[in-house]
Structure 1
Amino acid sequence: MRNWKDLSLIQQVVIGLLIAVSTFAAPEMMILLDFGGMELAFGFLLVYCKPFIVWAQPKINWVSSQINITKVGFLNSALFQPKVFTTHAVFCSVAMILTGSLVLSVGFFLPALLANGLLV
């Protein structure tokens, strides 16, 4: 582990701000700073945050799996096939030119573009 004096100024500022903010939630950090120094206080700050990390990890994994499912769904949809995309893009552009309203053309034709995998 690197010493406090070996850290760059930005790293010292970030760690110092973390310690300063944590003293509002855990006042015992001030005692750790007095007795053990910055290294001990930062080590105990990591131990203090362990329950939050354990609580947040499944939620982060769930969000990343949902993002991956959505990504795979979009990549496998007909929208990403060049001829389907070109046909729909031309059709939506013509609808935009005829109606003169971006909201109207996108509002009515974008769902058909996105749901094309169900229609084809």
Structure 2
Amino acid sequence: MQVKPRAKRRPVGLTSLIDVIFLLLLFFMLASSFTRYQSLDVSSGGQGGGADIKPAYLRIHASEKIDLNGVPMSKAEMAGRFADLTNKENMVIAIWSGPEANVQDVVDVMSAARQSGLRTVLVTGN
């Protein structure tokens, strides 16, 4: 009986594997986001029997063009103007977003309204 000599195995090339792992690592690093997202509590409308109070009307036309009850204001003035509204009991603010306003503008206004103590915030838009 004749024994066949074993064929020498070629070593496994790890260069290709390292390249693939590097590309996967690079992909996941670029595809992931490390920013913290801020949450904003939004509640749905409930049963109502009509509005007893007339809401304050805030219009967001664009990023730096905002008016409250027809009086123009800047984002820096929002906290003070909202504080004046919170002195009135059960004050409601209605936010209207115009066609040139982006979502971040609306979120900024809603956040400032909540921080100043306004309890009811209505949001409407196109």
The question of a shared fold, defined as TM-score above 0.5 by the shorter chain, is answered with: no
Report which of the two has the higher share of helix.
Answer: 1
Structure index of larger Rg: 2
TM-score (norm 1): 0.21
Counting strand residues as a fraction of each chain, which structure ranks higher?
Answer: 2
